[in-house]
Structures are given as C-alpha cells and as structure tokens.
Amino acid sequence: MWLDNLSQAVVNRFWQQCEEIEPFPRNLERLTSIALPVKLTKLPHLKLQTIESWLGRRGASFSFNCRSRAVRGCLVAYGGQGFIFIDETDSEDERRFTIAHEIGHFLIDYLLVRETAISKFGDRIVEVFDGLRQPSLAEKVHALLAGASLGVYTNLVERDETSGQDLWEIEDSADRIALDLLAPPEDVLSQSDTSPLRFQQRLEGMTSVLKERFGLPVSVAGPYACSLLESVGRGQSWVESFRPK
C-alpha cells in the first residue's frame, strides 16, 4: 500500500472538498485555495528573511530564529490556517512538487493533528495548539500531543546550494501524499511499460513518464519510479545489482 490509512483519508478528503479532479500535469494552485484554508504566495529568490518581512508587512510578527537562507518553499501555519511560500524563480516542475509537498505537511502534520485533538479534548485545546496557554497535566500525558508542534507550525523545503543539486528520498507521509496528489501510483503504473527485462530500461521508461506526463522534477521522478517498480515486484534484481553498468 502506497499510503497508510490516515494519509489516504486526508487525500480523499482533499479531493472531495475540491469537488473536481485536476487533469495531469497538476499544479494544485487553484484547487488548494478552494479546498483548504491556505494562501499560496510566490516570491522571487525565496529566503527566510523574505518570508519574515512579507508576514511582518501584514501585521504578523514572526521569526524563524535562525540565520536567513535560501529555501525552495515554506509552510507557516497558525490558527487552523496556513501560508505556503514558493520560489517563483524555480522551474514549473519544481514549484509543482514544492506546493504538493507543503500541502502534504499541512494536511497530515498540522490540520489532522489539530482536528483530532479538538475532537478528543474540545475546542479549548485550540489555545494549546496556538501557544496561548500551557497544556494541562491530562493534555500533556496524552500521546496525541507528544509529537505535536504547538504555536506556529513551520516546514521548510531546503535548497542544496553547495552542490547545486537536490538529493531527494521518499522519507515521510508528506512526500507520499504529494506524490499521490500529483502522480497517483495506479495512474503511473497504467501508463508505464514495466515489461522490459532490464531494470534500467524499466526505470528510465517510468521516469520519463513521470517527467513528461505528470510534470515531476527529475530529482523526484527517479526515486519515485524506483520505489513504484519495487512495490510491484519489478525492481532491480540481485543479479542486476552485481552486473557491471
């Protein structure tokens, strides 16, 4: 299974709130404004200081409390709402994935946790999530709050400025949600030829489909193709792993 039950539930809810399915390649910008309490903002040459200044000019005093640096994207969420900032100078495929990735974090790591806490403790728990009061003893010991980010929730899509190349791996639920929104596994597999005998041919073919049909950046398309092929038993065999390239 590509998504766990919780992740699948938030993806299904997203599309239900959109009331339409966007054709490929998706960018999700318009549908996000329809389905979620999120504002998308594109700024050139995005840096942490740029985000702080943008929020400050709109009356929201906020600091990352670290040295400013270039980022590809950023999610800032508070009060049940969020801002997604993306670097407008990035290529279209990079912007597409950045938006989807930050939507994934907003859905699974912020909104779902917040709503689940409200259903458990009632509306008063919102004061804890928004950093307006300390949690009570009962709230502290509850596992729901153990890994929750209280106050302002942030997530950054980092940029590797030293190598000039992003090294990406499918690491968390937000990554998987992003890929499911942009290139659902069943659609990718139905449009890819997994029959070639050599793994490299299968990998190159699916990577090409992910780039050309679904609009994924190459840094994401390759690892995703490899993961999908492995999930259907068409990954690299142990014999191929020892074969000279």
Q: What pLDDT, in 10s, does the model give residues 124-180? A: 888 888 878 887 777 776 756 666 677 788 998 887 654 344 445 666 889 999 999
What is the rounded distance in angstroms from the CA atom of residue 112 to the CA atom of residue 228? 26
Radius of gyration of the chain (CA): 20
Cβ neighbours around 146 below 10 Å, total: 8
In this prediction, residues 186-195 reach a mean pLDDT of 96
Task: Match 């690299």 to its residue by tokens.
Answer: 236
Q: Which two tokens stand for residue 215?
A: 């609009």
- Over the stretch 210-226, which tens digit does the pLDDT of each residue have? 999 999 999 999 999 99
What is the rounded distance in angstroms from the CA atom of residue 39 to the CA atom of residue 84? 6
pTM of this structure: 0.88
What local confidence, expressed as pLDDT, does residue 90 receive? 96
Q: Among candidates 123, 120, 141, which has minimal Cα distance to 132?
A: 123
Phi, psi of 82 (to 5 degrees): -145, 155
In this prediction, residues 79-97 reach a mean pLDDT of 95
* Contact of 63 with 77, CB cutoff 8 Å: no
Strand-pair partners of 155: 75
Cis peptide before 25 (omega within 30 of 0): yes
